[in-house]
Amino acid sequence: MVTARARDLRPFVLACVVAVASVGMLWLAVVHGWLGPDVGRGDRFCEAARDGDVLQPANTFSNAGFVLAGLAIGWRAGHPRTTIAANPRLASAYGVVVVLLGPASAAMHATQSALGGHLDLLSMYLVAGFASAYAVTRVLGRGTAFFAVLFIAAVGVCEVVERVPGHVPMVDIAANLAFGLLLLVALAGEAVLWRRGGASRQVGWGFASAGALALAFAIWNLAKDGSSFCQPQSLVQGHAAWHLLCAVAAYCLYRLYASERVSGAA
């Protein structure tokens, strides 16, 4: 008699360990000033800096959405039918990447420091690099080693682009443009796979992820200094909504990955 496989708790445990360690390290860094002085990083996202250890509370604590999304991914990754591409290591890695988005973004909003700003951008590169590399790897029919090389290359290119000076319309800086282009590559790759066939997937999760991202980007633009929607002293911040919607998009993208069932012929 065939018995059902038990849930593997290791992806969830790993996500929990990373969450506790990264959030704990962030709190120590904020309290002790390890991230450096306030240089105004992230201050263009409307919320006025408060007195105390956490300068932008709404924009900081809304990043808990990423941690919760990463934990949810880790929990689902342990189910025998929800690992991406039958590779639990990739599923676990994606959960960890999403968890790290939370404390990395919070580092910038809590301290407005230069290092906090770089951590915020790095976490964005990691998740966009993962999504784009995973899409391209599957479009080309390559393996995990190819994915790893592509992922590292994507993050490396973003690190170089981050140093390009000047203002970029709609997205402010070159680093944000690189992040957005990687996400577009990921979405285009998923669209190609959907149109190609050869595998079944619950495409509704993909549309939900893309829709959440589109709404988040619209709010991101409306939630900056000078906008009529900007209320600097309010704890209801548009940029906080951007964080929460991006967390939803990251989770929905994983559900799209997990729903993929490749046919024997493919």
Q: Which residues are annotated as a binding site for Zn(2+)?
A: 109, 239, 243
Q: What is the dihedral of CA 118, 101, 194, 82, to 10 degrees?
A: 150
Identify the three-state secondary structure at position 230.
coil
Interatomic CA distance for residues 188 and 224, integer angstroms: 28
Burial degree of 159 (CB within 10 A; 0-12, 13-18, 19+):
middle
Round to whole Å and give the CA distance between 173 and 162: 8
Cα–Cα distance measured from residue 92 to residue 115, given in angstroms and rounded to the nearest whole number: 27
Residue list, annotated binding site:
109, 239, 243
Q: Please name the amino acid found at residue 98.
A: V
Residue type, 54: V
Cα distance between residue 132 and residue 128, in whole Å = 6
Q: Are the CB atoms for 61 and 239 separated by under 8 Å? A: no
246 in Cβ contact with 213 (< 8 Å):
yes
Total count of residues recorded for the chain? 266
How big is the chain by its Cα radius of gyration, in Å? 19
* Cβ neighbours, 10 Å, residue 141: 9
Amino acid (one-letter) located at 186: A
> At 77, which amino acid appears?
A
